[in-house]
Chain A
């Protein structure tokens, strides 16, 4: 019954969380690393891009079965590239900026009243950084 219990809990409203959880291998979704609203990151030095990412993007793109950006990328790439954007090494500034302003799949576009050009630039540079 354990599996069923989880499925039932996950089916809140139209949210088939359990379905997502079942479809996302545990190994591909590391344990939670960010707070839900990480306004004050633990690191002493944090770039503007990382702060903007955490404030505006992490709710979808952090780790966890309820983070639709991460689960969607896991489904799309099947682990060929990391589902977590912050672990990607193949992102370019131009690509990130394009996706923010134009959206992709279920992700809508973000207007200048939501994220300024400077914020988009900072997020793109943060995600396109090379380790």
Chain B
């Protein structure tokens, strides 16, 4: 039997027995065979002693069972680590941040409690996936869209609590921003509801975020102050139509102006979908010639890359986006957007697709830009750097938040890309993405897998990258548990006043330190010294 840190065989056996009484023996897992699937498949420490491993797992099916399980853990001071669908790959998957924690697996809590077409909202449990919610809506022909991140097997609740993001319109694609109301089980088993959920008989829990008094919802995201067991979301009303467009410019030096034009259209609310800067030259598969050119940082870089792009007939910069609304409105928007880009010599805006909704089943399957049409998939995992390169086994994402300005975005992209090259990393991506409304985020998917030496290179490189970025004021928006301590320490204004405040909160609401120790650098008092 594996043991949580600090627990005796006798004490832990009694805890397991108590949990079996609560959830049923079939839902308490202790064998190596049953716990192996709780390993982080994308751990940068896979197979090494630093890999975070669960000592057991317990899977309640109801809120009452969660409360009872937590009360037992609190009484015996057993570290538990909460997961929802457990598919937060790249950010820890279903493994704990503190090795030896018992995983509190909420996948069985998979009820869609409410979907309101009239108010365009949903209330879900942690184990509901994006696929589940999409299916629920489509089966009932509701005129609603979901917003999903790259993989559809994740949990809207869990993704939101990790500050995940998607691809449709503002305000739905910032998933925490799109939430409205939550239910939380605290470390002592008590339970609260936020916003209008605190008012019995309220019919506006999923419509009005604030209720009365301080808004505490943010305390439960990227943290370990409670266990969220229900969460409400605003859903996007199904638009009449969507126009899938792609802006293109053809020269290296068009970059700042191209990006600033895009940013202007975002700030003007003319482009409301997620968009990103993709350079087929800098981000696409490279032959030997292009590979050499992108590694050359001398004075001839721009001219060399431009000549290559011209010879191949490739645009240098592209930006895909989607317009939503009545056809006449989005056609008018497209005309204005085209005019704005036409100020850059040679730049064009092309129409890739046009859809009227609802889609047919055939369209759902064949549409290419699924995420921006609100269709969940797992297409991301088919990504490859080049046709002759195998798919990534796994990855950890370096993802600094940078200012919304063309010159600064390119400065960040150049520095990060050059640093990756110098560190011997071969990331997938590296594009500036506009998930959030007022910042860009660069995402470099750094490969990890089962090769310990390659994983060490990835870890060392990742650690160096976040230090270099932080020195320029570019912080991570989200991070793998293996780097949460380092990431939290980089947000260090006034001697880490923010982290120290988090620790004061932790000590107040979870004095025994049982909930998700180490998550985002927040450790309970008895582990704080060791963690530092």
In the complex, the answer to whether B381 meets A68 with C-beta atoms within 8 Å is yes
Within 8 A of B (CB), among A24-50: 32, 34-37, 39
Which of A8-16, A84-92, A121-129 is the interface stretch? A8-16
In the complex, the answer to whether B384 meets A10 with C-beta atoms within 8 Å is no
Given contacts A9-B368, A35-B364, A106-B393, contact A16 B352 (CB under 8 A): no
Q: Which of A16, A23, A76, A109 contacts B41 (CB 8 A)?
A: A109
In the complex, the answer to whether A59 meets B380 with C-beta atoms within 8 Å is no
Q: Which residues of A contact B42 (CB under 8 A)?
A: 108
Within 8 A of B (CB), among A60-102: 60, 64-68, 71-72, 75-76, 101-102
The 0/1 profile, CB within 8 Å of A marked 1, for residues 248-284 of chain B is 1000000000000000000000000010101010011
B152 within 8 A of A: yes
| Shortest Cβ gap from B522 to chain A (Å) | 26
Which of chain B's residues has its CB closest to A100's CB?
A: B37
Q: Which of B135, B139, B167, B350 contacts A12 (CB 8 A)?
A: B167
The 0/1 profile, CB within 8 Å of A marked 1, for residues 135-157 of chain B is 10011000000000010110000
Given contacts A8-B278, A9-B352, contact A113 B246 (CB under 8 A): no
| Shortest Cβ gap from A65 to chain B (Å) | 7
Q: Which residues of A contact B33 (CB under 8 A)?
A: 101
Given contacts A14-B443, A15-B382, A36-B365, contact A9 B387 (CB under 8 A): no
* Best-surrounded residue of A10, A39, A65, A111 (most CB of chain B within 10 A): A111
In the complex, the answer to whether B167 meets A13 with C-beta atoms within 8 Å is yes
Complex Cα gap A5–B368 (Å): 12
Q: Which residues of A contact B390 (CB under 8 A)?
A: 72, 75-76, 105
Complex Cα gap A23–B276 (Å): 24
Q: Which residues of A contact B380 (CB under 8 A)?
A: 13-15, 68
Q: Which residues of B contact A13 (CB under 8 A)?
A: 150, 167, 274, 276, 371, 380, 429, 431, 433, 443
Which of chain B's residues has its CB closest to A108's CB?
A: B41
* Best-surrounded residue of A4, A15, A64, A72 (most CB of chain B within 10 A): A15
Given contacts A4-B315, A19-B384, A111-B94, contact A35 B365 (CB under 8 A): yes
Complex Cα gap A10–B283 (Å): 12
Given contacts A37-B131, A60-B381, A72-B391, contact A11 B41 (CB under 8 A): no
Given contacts A5-B352, A111-B37, A113-B105, contact A11 B59 (CB under 8 A): no
Report the interface size for chain B: residues with CB under 8 A from the other chain: 82
Which of chain B's residues has its CB closest to A105's CB?
A: B393
In the complex, the answer to whether B135 meets A39 with C-beta atoms within 8 Å is yes
| Shortest Cβ gap from A95 to chain B (Å) | 16
Q: Which residues of A contact B150 (CB under 8 A)?
A: 13-15
Complex Cα gap A53–B248 (Å): 41
| Shortest Cβ gap from A20 to chain B (Å) | 5
| Shortest Cβ gap from A69 to chain B (Å) | 8
In the complex, the answer to whether B361 meets A11 with C-beta atoms within 8 Å is no
* Best-surrounded residue of A19, A36, A109 (most CB of chain B within 10 A): A36
Which of chain A's residues has its CB closest to B278's CB?
A: A11
B14 within 8 A of A: no
The 0/1 profile, CB within 8 Å of A marked 1, for residues 90-115 of chain B is 00011000000000010110000000
Report the interface size for chain A: residues with CB under 8 A from the other chain: 48
In the complex, the answer to whether B139 meets A20 with C-beta atoms within 8 Å is no
Which of chain B's residues has its CB closest to A22's CB?
A: B387
B369 within 8 A of A: yes
Given contacts A8-B320, A113-B105, contact A20 B276 (CB under 8 A): no
Q: Which residues of B contact A111 (CB under 8 A)?
A: 37-38, 57, 86, 94, 105, 107
Complex Cα gap A22–B388 (Å): 10
| Shortest Cβ gap from B20 to chain A (Å) | 15
The 0/1 profile, CB within 8 Å of A marked 1, for residues 361-395 of chain B is 11011101111100101111111111110111110
Complex Cα gap A103–B377 (Å): 19
Q: Which residues of A contact B244 (CB under 8 A)?
A: 9
Complex Cα gap A34–B384 (Å): 24
* Best-surrounded residue of B37, B320, B352 (most CB of chain A within 10 A): B37
Q: Which residues of B contact A60 (CB under 8 A)?
A: 378, 381
Q: Which of A15, A23, A76, A113 contacts B379 (CB 8 A)?
A: A15
B424 within 8 A of A: no
In the complex, the answer to whether B131 meets A16 with C-beta atoms within 8 Å is no
B50 within 8 A of A: no
Q: Which residues of A contact B138 (CB under 8 A)?
A: 37
Which of chain B's residues has its CB closest to A17's CB?
A: B379
Complex Cα gap A17–B284 (Å): 11
In the complex, the answer to whether A36 meets B377 with C-beta atoms within 8 Å is yes
Which of chain A's residues has its CB closest to B248's CB?
A: A8
Given contacts A5-B350, A66-B377, contact A109 B382 (CB under 8 A): no
The 4 closest A-B pairs by CB, nearest first: A68-B381, A23-B387, A108-B41, A66-B379
B interface residues, Cβ below 8 angstroms from A: 27, 29, 33-34, 36-39, 41-42, 57, 59, 85-87, 89, 93-94, 105, 107-108, 127, 131, 134-135, 138-139, 150, 152-153, 167, 244, 246, 248, 274, 276, 278, 280, 283-285, 313-315, 318, 320, 350, 352, 361-362, 364-366, 368-372, 375, 377-388, 390-394, 428-429, 431, 433, 443, 445
* Other 9 A-B pairs with CB < 8 A, given A13-B150, A113-B59: A8-B248, A9-B320, A13-B429, A19-B383, A36-B361, A36-B377, A37-B135, A66-B368, A112-B34
20 A-B contacts, Cβ less than 8 Å apart?
A: A11-B280, A12-B371, A13-B150, A13-B433, A13-B443, A15-B379, A23-B387, A36-B365, A36-B377, A59-B152, A65-B382, A66-B368, A67-B378, A103-B41, A106-B392, A108-B42, A108-B89, A109-B36, A111-B38, A111-B57
